[in-house]
Amino acid sequence: MTATISETLVDPTGKPADLSPFQRFVSDFCESKVAVAGAIGVLIVALIAVFAPWISPTNPYDLATVDIMDSRLAPGKQMMSGVTAVVGTDGMGRDMLSSMFYGLRISLTVGAMSGFIALMVGVCVGLTAAYFGGRVDTLIMRVVDLQLSFPAILIALVLLATLGKGVDKIIIALIVVQWAYFARTVRGTALVERRKEYIEAAACLALSHRRIVFKHLLPNCLPPLIVVGTVQIANAISLEATLSFLGIGLPVTEPSLGLLISNGFEYMLSGKYWISIYPGIVLLFTIVSINLVGDRLRDVLNPRLER
Amino acid sequence: MRKTFTAFVAGAALLAAAGVSAQEIRIGIAQEPSSIDPHYHNLGPNNGFLSHVYERLVQQDSKQRLKPGLAVSWKPISETVWEFKLRKGVKWHDGSPFTADDVVFTATRAVNVPNSPSSFGTYLKGKTFKKVDDYTVHVSTKDPYPLMATEMSTILIISKKAAEGAQTKDFNLGKAAIGTGPYKFVKWQKGDIVEFVRNDDYWGGKPKWSKIVLKPISSAPTRVAAMLAGDVDMIDGVPTADIETLKKNSKVKLSQGISNRVIYLHMDQQRDKSPFVTDKNGNPMDKNPLKDVRVRKAISMMINRPAIVERVMEGVAIPAGQLVSETFFGHTPNLKSEKYDPAAAKKLLKEAGWGDGFGLTIHGPNNRYINDSKICEAIAQMLTRGGIPTKVVTMPKNVYFKRASRGGPDKSPEFSFILVGWGSGTGEASSPLKSLLTTYDKSKGHGASNRGRHSNPKMDALVVKALATVDDEKRRTLLQQATEVGIGEDQGIIPLHYQVNTWATRPGLRYDARTDERTLAMDIQVVK
CB-nearest to B377 from A253, A268, A272 is: A253
Residue B175 near residue B161, CB atoms below 8 Å: no
Does A10 or B307 have the greater pLDDT score?
B307
Q: Check: CB of residue A260 under 8 Å from CB of residue B231.
A: no
Last residue of a domain, one of B114, B133, B160: B160
> What is the separation of C-alpha A275 from the centre of its chain, rounded to a whole number of angstroms?
25
- Chain A's closest residue to B224, CA to CA, is A269
B374 contacts A91? CB cut-off 8 A = yes
Mean pLDDT of B456-479: 94
Cβ pair B373:A268 closer than 8 A: no
Q: How confident is the model at residue A305 (pLDDT cuts 50, 70, 90)?
A: low
B308 touching chain A per CB within 8 A = yes
**Does residue B252 sit within a domain?**
no
A239 CA: distance to closest CA in chain B (Å): 20
Determine the Cα angle at B500 with ends B496 and B501, to 5°. Answer: 140
Instruction: List, in sequence order, every residue forming a beta bridge with B278; answer none if it has no partner.
Output: B284, B359
Give the residue from A79, A270, A275, A276 with the most B CB atoms within 10 Å of its CB, the best one to mutate.
A270
How far apart, in whole angstroms, are the C-alpha atoms of residue B155 and residue B443? 20
Number of A to B CB contacts under 8 A, please give it: 69
A93 at the B interface (CB within 8 A)? yes
**What sign results for the dihedral spanned by CA atoms B487, B270, B299, B414?**
negative
Single out the residue of B301, B303, B297 nearest to residue B378, CA to CA: B303
| Cβ atoms within 10 Å, residue B399 | 13
Does A219 touch chain B if contact means CB atoms closer than 8 Å? no
Binned at pLDDT 50, 70 and 90, residue A162 comes out as confident
Q: With a cut of 80, say whether residue B21 has pLDDT above it.
A: no
B226 touches chain A (CB under 8 A): no
Q: Same structural domain for residues B463 and B327?
A: yes
- A13-27, A129-143, B28-42, B142-156: least confident range: A13-27
Return d(Cα B246, Cα B504) in angstroms, integer: 9
Give yes or no for A80 touching B (CB within 8 A): no
Q: Is A34 on the interface with B (CB under 8 A)?
A: no
B404 is a domain residue: yes
Give pLDDT tens digits for B34-83: 999 999 988 889 999 999 999 999 999 999 999 999 999 999 999 999 99
Chain B residues within an 8 Å CB radius of A71: 311-312
Instruction: Report strand pairing: B509-510 vs B525-526.
Output: antiparallel
More confident residue, B17 or B74: B74
Q: Are B293 and B488 in contact (CB under 8 A)?
A: no
In total, how many domains does chain B have? 2
Instruction: Read off the pLDDT of residues B272-325 as tens digits, 9 standing for 90 and up.
Output: 999 999 999 889 999 999 999 999 999 999 999 999 999 999 999 999 999 999
Residue B371 — φ and ψ, nearest 5°? 55, 30
For residue B444, the model assigns a pLDDT of 78
CA distance B245 to chain A (A): 6
Chain A residue closest in CA terms to B384 = A64
Weakest-pLDDT range from A107-111, A143-147, B11-15? B11-15
Q: In this complex, do B380 and A253 lie within 8 Å of one another by their Cβ atoms?
A: yes
Buried b (16+ CB within 10 A) or exposed e, B76-111: beeeebbbbbbbeebebbeeeebbbebbbbbbebbb
Give domain status of residue B4, yes or no.
no
Q: Do the chains contact at B391 and A67, CB–CB below 8 Å?
A: no
pLDDT, position A15: 56
pLDDT at A4: 45
Q: So what's the pLDDT on residue A244? A: 87
Average pLDDT over residues B174-186: 95
Last-in-domain residue among B102, B131, B160: B160
Amino acid at residue number A169:
K
- The predicted pLDDT at position A166 comes to 86
Same structural domain, B153 and B288: no
Q: Which of A24-33, B8-17, B138-147 has the lowest mean pLDDT?
A: B8-17
Nearest to B213 by CA among B188, B234, B193: B193
For residue B39, give the 3-state DSSP assignment: coil
Q: Does the beta-carbon distance from B373 to A252 stay under 8 Å?
A: yes
What gap in Å lies between CA A149 and CA A172, rounded to an integer?
A: 19
Q: Which residue out of A269, A273, A275, A276 would a mutagenesis test of the B interface target, given it has the greatest number of B Cβ atoms within 10 Å?
A: A269
pLDDT band with cut points at 50, 70 and 90 for residue A16 = low
pLDDT at A14 over 60: no
Burial profile B184-203: b = 16 or more Cβ within 10 angstroms, e = fewer: bbbebeeeeebbbbbbeebb
Q: Which residue of A has its CA nearest to B307?
A: A69
Searching chain B, which residue's CA lies closest to the CA of residue A61?
A: B381
> Do B385 and A63 count as a contact with CB atoms less than 8 A apart?
yes
Closest CA to A243 of B260, A235, B94: A235
Q: Which of B480, B434, B455 is nearest to B267 (CA)?
A: B455
Check residue B409 and report its DSSP letter: G
Task: State the burial class of residue B49 (Cβ atoms within 10 Å of its Cβ: 0-12, 13-18, 19+).
Answer: buried
Nearest to A69 among B311, B389, B396 (CB): B311
Q: Evaluate the CA torsion angle B140, B144, B147, B151 in order and state its sign.
A: negative
Alpha-helical runs (H) found in B190-312 = 220-228, 240-247, 293-302, 305-307
Residue B133: helix, strand or coil by DSSP?
strand
Q: Is residue B513 part of a domain?
A: no
> Residue A19: its pLDDT value, please?
79
Per-window interface: B 83-112 vs A, CB < 8 A: none
Could you give the CA distance from residue B362 to residue B265 in angstroms, rounded to a whole number?
Answer: 9
Average pLDDT of the segment spanning B328-357: 95
d(Cα A16, Cα B194) in Å, to the nearest integer? 74
Is pLDDT above 60 for A232? yes
Check residue B22 and give its pLDDT: 54
pLDDT(A249) > 90: no
Q: How far is B321 from chain A (nearest CA, A)?
A: 21
Minimum mean pLDDT range among A4-18, B125-139, B417-431: A4-18
Is the pLDDT score of B528 beyond 80?
A: no
User: What is the C-alpha to C-alpha distance for residues B239 and B261, in angstroms, rounded to an integer?
Assistant: 17
Task: With a cut of 90, say whether residue B224 has pLDDT above it.
Answer: yes
Q: Is residue B491 part of a domain?
A: yes
Contact criterion met (CB < 8 Å) for A253 and B311: no
> Contact B245/A271, CB-based, under 8 Å?
yes
- Among A163, A253, A275, the strongest candidate for a mutation testing the B interface, having the largest count of B CBs within 10 A, is A253
User: Searching chain B, which residue's CA lies closest to the CA of residue A165?
Assistant: B393
Say yes or no for a CB contact (<8 Å) between A92 and B381: yes
Which residues on chain B are in Cβ contact (under 8 Å) with A72?
A: 311
CATH code at position B90: 3.90.76.10
Distances (CA, A) of B448 to B107, B124, B365, B400: 20, 14, 19, 16
Please give the residue of chain B at the shortest CA–CA distance from A73. B311
Q: By the CB < 8 Å criterion, does B381 face chain A?
A: yes
What is the three-class DSSP state of B494? strand
User: Does the distance separating the beta carbons of B239 and A266 come in below 8 Å?
Assistant: yes
The Cα–Cα gap between B145 and B152 comes to 12
Q: Do B219 and B475 meet the contact criterion of CB atoms below 8 Å apart?
A: no
B307 touches chain A (CB under 8 A): yes
| B219 found inside a domain | no
In this structure, what are the phi and psi dihedrals at residue A250, rounded to the nearest 5 degrees? -110, 150
User: Is pLDDT of A304 > 70?
Assistant: no
Q: How far apart are CA A73 and CA A131, in angstroms?
A: 60
DSSP 8-state secondary structure symbol assigned to residue B455 = -
Mean pLDDT rounded to a whole number for chain A: 89
Q: What amino acid occupies position B173?
A: L
Residue B442 domain-assigned (yes or no): yes
Residues linked to residue A84 through DSSP beta bridges, in sequence order: A78
Secondary structure of chain A in the HEC alphabet?
CHHHHHHHCCCCCCCCCCCCHHHHHHHHHCCCHHHHHHHHHHHHHHHHHHHHHHHCCCCCCCCCCCCHHHCCCCCCCECCCCCECCCCECCCCCEHHHHHHHHHHHHHHHHHHHHHHHHHHHHHHHHHHHHHCHHHHHHHHHHHHHHHCCCHHHHHHHHHHHHCCCHHHHHHHHHHHHHHHHHHHHHHHHHHHCCCHHHHHHHHCCCCHHHHHHHHHHHHHHHHHHHHHHHHHHHHHHHHHHHHHCCCCCCCCCCCHHHHHHHHHCCHHHCCCHHHHHHHHHHHHHHHHHHHHHHHHHHHHCHHHCC
* B248 pLDDT more than 50: yes
Question: B141, B160, B179 — which closes off a domain?
Answer: B160
List the CATH number of the domain containing B324: 3.10.105.10
User: Are residues B284 and B156 part of one domain?
Assistant: no
Q: pLDDT confidence of B26, banded at 50, 70, 90?
A: very high
- Cβ-contact B421, B369 below 8 angstroms: yes
One domain, residues B135 and B275: no
Q: Using alpha carbons, list the distances in angstroms from residue B107 to A81, B137, B409.
A: 61, 11, 33
B506 touches B251 (CB < 8 A): yes
Judging contacts by C-beta atoms under 8 Å, the chain B residues touching residue A69 are 307, 311
Provide the strand spans (E) within B291-424: 317-319, 359-365, 390-395, 417-423
User: Is B416 near chain A, with CB under 8 Å?
Assistant: no
Q: Name every chain A residue with its beta carbon within 8 A of the beta carbon of B224.
A: 269
**Cβ–Cβ of A71/B385 closer than 8 Å?**
no
Task: Give A-chain residues touching B374 at CB under 8 angstroms.
Answer: 91-92
Residue B386 sits at the chain A interface (C-beta within 8 Å): no
Tell me which chain B residues have a C-beta less than 8 angstroms from the C-beta of A68.
307-308, 311-312, 378, 381
Domain boundaries, position B380: 259-499
- Cβ neighbours of B242 in A, within 8 Å: 269-270
pLDDT greater than 60 at residue B11? no
Residue B433 lies in a domain: yes
For B228, the closest chain A residue by CA position comes to: A269
Q: Is B222 on the interface with A (CB under 8 A)?
A: no
Residue A7's pLDDT is 47
Residue B282 touches chain A, beta carbons under 8 Å: no
Interface check for A154 against chain B (CB to CB < 8 A): the answer is no
A64 CA: distance to closest CA in chain B (Å): 5
**Could you tell me the sign of the dihedral formed by the alpha carbons of B428, B429, B435, B439, in that order?**
negative
Q: Determine the pLDDT at residue B397.
A: 86
Say whether residue B373 is in contact with chain A using an 8 A CB cutoff. Answer: yes
